[in-house]
Amino acid sequence: MKHPQNIQSVIAYFSDLYSSYLEVNRLFIKKIRNSGSGDLTEQKFLYKFYNKHWDAKVFQTNLLNLILASSIEKTSIITAPLLVLLQENISWYKESKEVLKSLDYYNLVEQSLQYYKDKRVSLENDLELIKTYPYPTEVERQILIDETRKELSELSGEEEKERKRVAPFGINFFPGIYQLSKELVVYINAYIPEGGNIAIDYSKISEQNSTSNIPEKNDLKVDIEEPNMIFRTRMFEKFLVLERKLVTDKHLEENPNKELHWISTHENGKPDIKQLVTFLVGLLDNNYFLPSKDPKIKTFFESRYHITIGQNFERKRREPLRNEYKIVFHDYQF
């Protein structure tokens, strides 16, 4: 592949895709909360978005161009926040699949044509009135009849033209966008190594310059994250109950300063990181965390339990532990 001549156009592509997905996800949430909401303006946006980005190979080309022009590390600064939006999009669709698949936009299109229907009824009523009104001469009656029929004919032409214009918007784009999101995630994971998407303070993303929407390097965050940045609603409180059991079962130790330390060890006396990851797998499997938060989850628990988890939390390493947590922590009510 040739080295891109204008990397700015590639960056502009990702900026547009990111800002567009912000709006797409907003519309996903709006429909999930109220399936009857929405108008043709929103449908027009989804129509333009889907027709512009449906071919995931365009994304692949831009992603490769960006990597070739810079590096995987720098590319991850752009793909990390986008990946979060894609994962959220996928998660919301899966959680509300039946609602989003069953949306019918035919009525929305028909409602947009209501003006023409009302106008036709008014003109047809006028025509009936003209036919029975006692005009001085039949010539006057016929002139008014002809004018009204002409208006009806012109109205039909205008309505047909408008119907053709809005017809493409009467489609449910949510299933197609969901499939697109999955394809883009596959490409990102294929070209950006696991763990390559660095942790970013996503609470700042919406505050980025509206002309860019791509976080600058100075916006990268490696500090400790707050629980609400990784836990689903009300799940942190449930987690705290499990955590107290970890203390009781001597996996954790709480010192007088209320600091927690992971003290579970192997027979050789070294910290049992596998057991900690096994516990985290149990939390993952039971939907404690928001989607696509792996780096934040690792950072959170490394700080909270004063231990280094490192690469042991990578997906390929924790996958074999998916069933083991039910054995190791069999009496924990996840």
Helix (H) or strand (E) holding 117: helix 114-132
**Helices 40-53 and 174-191 sit at what angle, rounded to 10 degrees?**
40
Say whether 2 sits in a helix, a strand or coil. Answer: coil
**DSSP state for residue 220 in the 8-state scheme:** B
CA atoms within 13 Å, Cβ hemisphere of 260? 18
**pLDDT score for 329:** 85
- Least confident piece of the model among 51-60, 104-113, 269-278, 305-314: 104-113
Beta 252-254 vs 260-262: how paired, if at all? Answer: antiparallel
Contact 22, 3 (CB under 8 A): no
Single-letter amino acid code for the residue at 319: E
Task: Name residue 220's beta-bridge partners.
Answer: 200
3-class DSSP state for residue 276? Answer: helix
Instruction: List Cα–Cα distances, 41 to 27, 103, 108, 109, 191, in angstroms.
Output: 12, 16, 11, 11, 36
Smallest CA-to-CA distance from 89 within 160, 158, 183 is with: 183
The confidence score (pLDDT) of residue 307 equals: 85
Q: Which of 291, 48, 296, 49 is nearest to 195 (CA)?
A: 296
* Claim: this prediction has a pTM higher than 0.95: no
* Chain centroid offset of residue 281 CA: 24
Coil, helix or strand at residue 265: strand
Give per-residue pLDDT as tens, 286-307: 889 888 888 888 888 888 888 8
Instruction: Give me the percent of the chain exceeding a pLDDT of 90.
Output: 35
As a whole number, the mean pLDDT across the chain is 83
Long-range contacts of 318-323 (CB under 8 A, 24+ apart): 318/277, 318/280, 318/281, 318/284, 321/274, 321/277, 321/278, 321/281, 322/281, 322/285
Percent of the chain at pLDDT > 70 equals 88
Rounded to whole angstroms, the Cα distance separating 243 from 233 reads 17
Task: Report the distance separating Cα 235 and Cα 229, nearest Å.
Answer: 12
Residue 131 binned pLDDT confidence (cut-offs 50, 70, 90): very high
CA dist list (Å): 80 to 47, 180, 191, 197, 232: 26, 17, 12, 5, 20
Q: Are 131 and 141 in contact (CB under 8 A)?
A: yes
Q: What is the pLDDT of residues 211-260, one digit of tens each?
A: 333 333 333 333 345 777 888 887 888 888 888 888 888 888 888 777 88
